[in-house]
Structures are given as structure tokens and as C-alpha cells.
């Protein structure tokens, strides 16, 4: 029964007369053709056939579309494409039927939407019709479609924390007590002309250009193409901005003149062949930044993390626990791969740094290199400089959330402002509430709506004196990877991590790993109003952003699959998790993730064809299939996808932190193995210093 109602909804919402647009604004039947003479034509025809087939036997052209999806000659011409769409039809049917049988709430929403859409004239009540469609595919958005201010206020109240005990020993020397980290994402050159490659050693040019033909292994939102001009290079931009921020603090008198900020950079690559060149290439980029008088920069590639595991951590696991943990530790500790791997490393290394290299280290804070602290504006608009914000006793405080649960505010989160808005007001949301209606794939999934609500409710909250005097603040679920940190004590007590299979939103996946782990309260991010970085990527790297759009969209689809199945793999109920993380983070946790990602992709491709952008349609299709096919295979082959992977990685991180606990105990007692361990770590860290 569920699939019949679903097919009816697709027919009434998505399919229309041949030359007239549907509610999505797309004329899908006009894109269906028997011309399969080229790869582009096959994509256009298959994509339209897929959507028509989802309308079921009642859809005009259904049998012809179904024949195209299943046609063996077409499969021979484009087997991967044909299999992807054919498999999609079967997966969606199975998913809808299964969830309809097992989830009363979903079944009710599906039936109510189907009944409402049966009145054909209602389709043209566009706003209400889309809201009804969202009840099935995107319920988080349906609840936010109107009364913006009401939803913002309700979310702030839900995120409210009553402070029971401020941190009695807050950060007082940010430059000395915080390890700053960031990640460099490298990809192959955009240019094919050797003379156009800036800052590339001559002996690497030929090998680099050859890598353009090598298959890509990993995808990132906007990696840095090797050889771009210095003025467009975010490594240069970010380090110069951070150096300038420390200089400003020194002149302000908020940090000692003699202090030097430690900044650790990890380097991830999109192509395996870049790995051996990565350190030399990034070192050249850093030289392009000129003098960095206030920073010490440490560069970690996969090579250095492998040394850490094989020469330092694995022998310690053997010594202390009798374990051969090499494979486990190699799996989690590194910088290549999906975002989750380097993100966890950049947090976890602070604990190693504290035990073996800088005992005075209290916390770590991650920035993105396309962001800078707008120091004059911060002082002018908030009365406080960037590093003075870190001194708040809210970071590390204990409190009670709005449901009465004890929480530990061991993490901190700031906000972003776009480059063009900063001079006017730092408290301008970097994601604005959408004024235009959704179109094409947004009629299925429109994450910008809850993102805008969450941005204003969480990131733009300002504390007045009454709130602080009453001991109240808010905690954050919606965080950005480039403006958040954690105290080392909380890191070692709770042991949060982002699984290595997480490809995007690694910052929000991080908290999910310990969502309801109670170590003197649930670990949460404190929102620090005024801790704002300016996001400048659009100002200097438009080409890199544009080139990465297909990969970013594919990553967004993968995020829905991964978050949906990751939440089911955690040791807490999905309902409890979603109660905490809705609306924005939670909207990627779907009851019907396969249905949502297939529909989003197909509608995106149809929109590109309608806009006469066939090359882009091909790019989006290729990027999506490269990301989604392996994930879908994993989901199909496992009864409980990702659960074993999560447990495996959780155990590996436990080994890592327990090693550090044993080393710390040994150092206090003068143990020779612990002393040798510390010496090895110190030498490795020193070898990574480039400035």
C-alpha cells in the first residue's frame, strides 16, 4: 500500500503534461527521449525515465520508461549509469514499503499527503503543496515554513543552559594554552601549462601534470589546486591572517610580546600520487606567505601520522596492554581519506601534545584557512579581541540543559560572517533566511531553511548582562568545523571522534559520537557570542569553489546517507538523537535516505538539462555516482550498516587515550618506557616544524 501512495504523490507532484512544468518547475516528460546516441543523451533519457518510472503504472509513459531503465542494449552502452538508475527504482520501492510498515508516523504523513494531493486543484496552492510534500521527504523543513521568529526563539529556549558552576580555572594565556589546527586539502593543478604553475619545484612539474589523469580517490568541498597564484592560495591567506591576529593581540597587550602561537596543519590529498609530494608543496606555499613572526607551524602528512602509529603508539599498546593494535590505530589516525579522519586527528593530537610536548596546553581550536579573525571589527563591535573571548569561564563550565540534564561545556563554538558583511555588522548571519521559494530538487530537500533558522538561533545569539548575571547561556549543536575547540581535559574524559566514513559535516558528526555519554554530564559546545571569524573564500578563490560544486553536491547527498545510518549505529535511539539535533543537523537524518538522495540527484540533473547545461549535468552525475555507489553497496551488504565500523573505531580511540593515560602515569613515576615514548613524540613533532 505504501508504494502505491508514494507513486500517486510522485505523479501529482512531479509529473505533468508533456510541455508544461510540474510543481518543481521542471518539464520532465519533455526530457524523455529514445535518443541514446551519446553519453549525455543517455544520461538525460535515463534520468527522465527514472523519475517517470517512480510514478508507477498510472504515470503517462510508464511502460516505455520502464523498458528504457531495464533495456539490455542500453545497459551495454552505459552499464554503470543504467545499473545505478535501475537499482535506484528497486531500492526506493523497498525502502518506502519497509518504512511504511514499521514507522507509524511516516505512514500517517504519507497517507495524509496523498489524500491532500488527490484534490488536483490544490497542486497550484504552491506553498501549501510543497509543505505537504516536505511532510514526507523533509519533515524538519515543513515545521519551519512559516513564523521564522517564533522558531528562532523556540530553538534558543531549547538550547538554553543554566550554569551551575563556572570554570574556576579558565584559559588565561590563549597563545600559550591553545593549540591551533587546520587542514590543507590539496588537489591536482587546474592549469596544464607548466609556466602557469606558481611555487612548484621544477623537478615536480612533470609528475604533477601527469597526476591529472590519475583516478581521484577523495573528494573535498574546495581543495587547493597545486600551482595557483599566491593571492588565491588559502594556506598563505589563512596563515598570514592568523599571524596578524596574534600581532594585534600583542599590540593590544592581551598576550605577552614573547609568545608564539603553535599552529598544526594536516595535509590531505585528493589523488594518491600527490602524497609523496605533499610536504614539499605545502612548504613552498608557506614560504610564499613571507615572514610569520608570531607563529610556529607544524606540518603533518600521512607519512608523519604513519610514523606516529608504527614507531610510537603501536609499541606502547604492545608494552602496556599486550595488544597488536597497529591495524586499528592506522585506521583511525591519519590525514588522508574522508573529512572525519583528519578532523579527529586534529583534535586528538592535542592530548598527545599535552602529555609529551607542552604540559601547559589546555585546549585546541580549529580554524579554516579561508577564515580570519577581523580584529579591529571585533574590538569595535564586541569590545573584546578574538583571543580574549577564549578566556570566558563559560568554556569548561557545568550546567543544566532545558530538560534538566547535567552538561559539561567542555567545547566552544564561534560563528562566521561573510566578507562583504563584516564591516557593517559581524552579527550578520552567513546563511540568510531564503526569501525565494524552493525549486527543482529543493522541493524534496531544502536544507538552507533549517540552516538559516539554526544560524540565527544559535550562532547569532548575543548575551545581555541580565542573562549572564542569571548564569545562563546557550549550547550549540550547529557548529562549523573552522570555529570550534575543545578543552584537553574534556577530550581525554569523553574521547569524542568523527568516524572515518564521515565525508561531510564532520564537525557535527563529532558530537554525535558521545551525544549521551555521561561523564559528569553530557558533553556540549558552549556558544561564545562575539567569537566570530570572517569567511573570505569567495573574496579570493572563486574558481576553486566553482570547480568543486559537483563534488560538494555529491558530498551533501552522501551526508544524508551517512548521517541517517550513522545515527542508527549509535547506542542511543534515533528519536532521542533527533530531538537534540533538529532542525539543521537533524534534517540529514532521514527515515527514507535512499529515496531522498535519488530524488535530489535526479531533479538536480533534470534542472541542469532544462537550463541547457548538459556538461554540468554530466559532471554532477559522475561525481555523485563515484560517491554514492560504494556507500549504497555497503548499505545493501550489511544488516546494520556502520555499526561495527563505529564500534571498531571507538575501541581504537580508547586504546589511544589509555596509552596516553599510562604514559602520563609513567612519567610521573620516572618510568623509562614512558620517558622514551615522550622523547620519540618530541622528536617527531620537532621534525614537523616548518616555520
Chain centre to alpha carbon of residue 659 = 29
pLDDT higher for 327 or 470? 327
Across 107-120, average pLDDT: 89
Inform me whether the pLDDT recorded for 119 exceeds 90: no
Neighbours of 665 (CB within 10 A): 12
Q: What is the pLDDT of residues 239-272, one digit of tens each?
A: 999 999 999 999 999 999 999 999 999 999 999 9
Highest mean pLDDT: which range of 53-67, 565-579, 624-638 = 565-579
Is the pLDDT at 631 greater than 70? The verdict is yes
Give how far Cα 81 sits from Cα of 42, 70, 77, Å.
Answer: 9, 11, 9
The number of helix segments (H) and strand segments (E) in the chain equals 32, 12
Angle, CA 546 vertex, CA 610 and CA 301 arms, to 5°: 140
Query: Strand 406-418 and strand 522-535: pairing?
Result: parallel
Say what the pLDDT of residue 18 is.
54
Residue 12 pLDDT level (bands cut at 50, 70, 90): confident
pLDDT band at 120 (very low <50, low <70, confident <90, very high): low
Distances (CA, A) of 236 to 245, 247, 248, 274, 288: 14, 16, 18, 19, 7
Report DSSP letters for 88-147, one per residue. HHHHHHHHHHHHHHH-HHHHHHHHHHHHHHTSGGGGG-HHHHHHHHHHHH-HHHHTTSS-
For the residues 613-623, what does the mean pLDDT come to? 94
* List of E strands, 480-616: 483-487, 522-535
pLDDT above 70 (res 539) = no
pLDDT in tens, 364-398: 999 999 999 999 999 999 999 999 999 999 999 99
pTM for the predicted model, two decimal places: 0.94
The answer to whether 688 touches 299, Cβ cutoff 8 Å, is: yes
pLDDT per position as a tens digit, 287-343: 988 899 999 999 999 999 999 999 999 999 999 999 999 999 999 999 999 999 999
Burial readout 609-626 (b: 16 or more C-beta within 10 A, e: otherwise): bbeeebebbbbbbbbbbb
What is the rounded distance in angstroms from the CA atom of residue 681 to the CA atom of residue 691? 19
The string of pLDDT tens digits covering residues 150-187 is: 999 999 999 999 999 999 999 999 999 999 999 999 99
Mean per-residue pLDDT of the chain? 92
Number of other residues whose CB lies within 10 A of the CB of residue 344: 26
Spatial contact of 653 and 495, defined as CB atoms under 8 Å apart: yes
Q: Which three cell numbers stand for residue 466?
A: 541580565
Q: Are 301 and 275 in contact (CB under 8 A)?
A: yes
- Asked if the model's pLDDT at residue 467 lies above 80, the reply is no
Provide the pLDDT for residue 222. Answer: 79
Per-residue pLDDT of 473-531, as tens digits, reads: 999 999 998 899 999 999 999 999 999 999 889 999 999 999 999 998 999 999 999 99
pLDDT at 76: 60
Dihedral angle, C-alpha 635, 2, 557, 413, nearest 10 °: -100
Residue 647 half-sphere exposure toward CB, CA atoms < 13 A:
7
118-132, 263-277, 453-467 — which is least confidently predicted?
A: 118-132
For residues 185 and 182, give the distance between their C-alpha atoms in angstroms, rounded to a whole number: 10
Reply yes or no on whether the pLDDT at 220 is more than 90: no
Q: Is the pLDDT of residue 647 over 70?
A: yes
- Model pLDDT, residue 540: 58
Contact between 498 and 585 under an 8 Å Cβ cutoff? The reply is: no
Question: What is the CB neighbour count within 10 angstroms for residue 192?
Answer: 9
Q: How far apart are CA 682 and CA 672, in angstroms?
A: 15
- Note the pLDDT tens digit of each residue in 23-68: 888 888 888 876 777 888 889 999 999 999 999 999 988 999 998 8
Residue 574, burial from CB neighbour count under 10 angstroms (0-12, 13-18, 19+): middle
- Residue 651: Cβ within 10 Å count: 13
User: Rounded to whole angstroms, what are the CA distances from 321 to 313, 314, 493, 662?
Assistant: 12, 10, 20, 10
Q: Assess contact for 514 and 351: CB atoms under 8 A.
A: no
Assess whether pLDDT exceeds 60 at residue 591.
yes
What pLDDT, on a 0 to 100 scale, did the predictor assign at position 552? 87
pLDDT confidence of residue 123: 60
Amino acid at each position: 500500500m505504501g508504494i502505491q501512495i508514494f507513486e500517486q504523490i510522485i505523479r501529482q507532484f512531479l509529473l505533468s503534461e508533456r510541455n508544461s512544468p510540474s510543481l518543481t518547475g521542471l518539464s520532465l516528460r519533455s526530457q524523455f527521449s529514445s535518443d541514446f546516441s551519446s553519453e549525455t543523451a543517455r544520461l538525460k533519457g535515463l534520468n527522465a525515465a527514472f523519475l517517470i518510472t517512480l510514478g508507477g503504472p498510472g504515470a503517462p509513459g510508464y511502460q516505455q520508461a520502464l523498458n528504457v531503465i531495464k533495456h539490455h542494449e542500453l545497459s551495454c552502452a552505459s552499464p554503470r549509469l543504467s545499473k545505478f538508475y535501475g537499482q535506484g527504482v528497486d531500492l526506493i520501492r523497498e525502502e518506502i514499503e519497509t518504512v511504511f510498515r514499521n514507522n507509524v508516523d511516516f505512514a500517517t504523513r504519507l497517507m495524509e499527503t496523498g489524500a491532500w494531493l488527490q484534490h488536483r486543484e490544490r497542486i497550484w496552492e504552491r506553498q501549501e503543496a510543497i509543505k505537504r510534500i516536505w511532510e514526507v521527504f523533509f519533515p524538519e523543513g515543513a515545521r519551519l515554513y512559516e513564523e521564522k521568529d517564533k522558531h528562532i526563539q523556540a530553538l534558543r529556549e531549547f538550547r538554553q543552559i543554566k550554569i551551575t558552576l563556572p570554570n574556576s580555572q579558565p584559559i588565561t594565556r590563549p597563545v600559550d594554552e591553545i593549540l591551533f589546527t587546520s587542514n590543507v586539502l590539496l588537489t591536482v593543478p587546474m592549469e596544464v601549462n607548466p609556466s602557469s604553475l606558481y611555487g612548484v619545484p621544477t623537478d615536480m612539474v612533470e609528475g604533477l601534470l601527469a597526476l591529472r589523469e590519475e583516478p581521484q580517490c577523495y573528494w573535498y568541498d574546495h581543495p587547493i589546486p597545486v600551482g595557483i597564484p599566491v593571492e588565491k592560495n588559502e594556506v598563505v591567506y589563512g596563515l598570514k591572517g592568523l599571524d596578524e591576529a596574534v600581532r594585534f593581540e600583542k599590540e593590544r597587550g592581551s598576550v605577552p610580546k614573547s609568545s608564539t602561537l603553535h599552529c598544526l596543519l594536516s595535509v590531505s590529498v585528493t589523488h594518491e600520487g600527490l602524497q609523496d609530494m605533499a610536504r614539499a608543496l605545502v612548504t613552498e606555499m608557506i614560504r610564499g606567505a613571507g615572514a610569520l613572526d608570531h607563529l610556529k607551524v607544524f606540518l603533518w602528512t600521512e607519512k608523519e601520522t604513519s610514523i606516529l602509529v608504527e614507531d610510537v603508539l603501536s609499541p606502547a599498546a604492545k608494552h602496556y596492554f599486550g595488544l597488536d593494535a597497529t591495524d586499528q590505530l592506522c585506521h583511525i589516525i591519519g590525514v588522508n581519506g574522508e573529512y572525519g579522519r583528519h578532523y579527529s586527528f586534529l583534535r586528538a593530537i592535542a592530548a598527545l601534545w599535552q602529555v609529551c610536548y607542552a604540559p601547559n596546553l589546555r585546549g585546541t581550536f580549529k580554524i579554516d584557512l579561508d577564515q580570519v579573525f577581523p580584529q579591529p571589527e571585533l574590538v569595535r563591535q564586541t569590545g573584546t579581541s578574538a583571543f580574549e573571548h577564549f578566556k570566558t569561564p563559560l568554556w569548561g563550565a557545568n550546567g543544566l540543559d532545558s530538560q534538566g540534564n547535567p552538561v559539561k561545556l567542555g567545547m566552544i563554538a564561534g560563528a562566521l560572517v561573510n566578507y562583504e558583511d563584516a564591516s557593517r555588522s559581524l552579527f550578520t548571519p552567513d546563511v540568510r533566511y531564503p526569501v525565494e521559494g524552493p525549486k527543482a530538487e529543493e522541493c524534496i530537500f531544502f536544507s538552507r531553511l533549517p540552516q538559516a533558522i539554526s544560524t540565527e538561533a544559535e550562532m547569532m545569539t548575543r548575551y545581555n548582562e541580565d542573562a549572564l548575571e542569571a548564569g545562563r547561556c546557550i549550547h550549540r549543536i550547529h557548529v562549523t568545523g573552522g570555529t570550534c575547540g575543545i578543552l584537553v581535559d574534556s577530550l581525554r574524559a569523553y574521547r569524542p571522534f568523527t568516524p572515518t566514513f564521515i565525508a561531510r559535516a564532520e564537525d557535527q558528526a563529532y558530537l554525535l559520537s558521545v551525544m549521551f555519554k555521561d561523564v559528569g554530564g553530557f558533553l556540549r559546545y558552549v556558544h561564545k557570542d562575539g567569537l566570530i571569524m570572517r569567511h573570505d573564500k569567495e573574496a579570493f578563490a572563486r574558481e576553486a569553489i566553482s570547480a568543486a560544486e559537483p563534488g560538494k553536491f555529491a558530498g551533501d547527498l552522501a551526508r544524508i546517507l551517512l548521517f541517517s545510518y550513522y545515527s542508527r549505529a549509535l547506542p542511543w535511539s534515533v528519536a532521542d538523537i533527533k530531538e537534540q539535533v533538529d532542525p539543521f543537523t537533524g534534517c540529514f537524518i532521514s527515515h527514507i535516505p535512499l529515496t531522498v538522495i535519488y530524488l535530489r540527484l535526479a531533479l538536480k540533473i533534470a534542472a541542469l538539462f532544462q537550463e541547457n547545461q548538459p556538461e554540468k549535468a554530466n559532471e554532477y552525475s559522475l561525481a555523485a555516482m563515484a560517491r554514492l555507489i560504494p556507500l549504497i553497496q555497503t548499505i545493501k551488504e550489511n544488516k546494520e550498516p556502520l555499526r561495527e565500523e563505529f564500534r571498531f573505531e571507538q575501541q581504537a580511540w580508547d586504546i589511544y587515550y589509555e596509552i596516553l593515560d599510562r604514559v602520563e602515569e609513567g612519567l610521573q613515576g620516572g618510568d623509562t618506557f614512558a620517558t622514551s615514548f615522550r622523547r620519540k613524540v618530541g622528536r617527531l613533532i620537532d621534525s614537523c616544524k616548518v616555520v
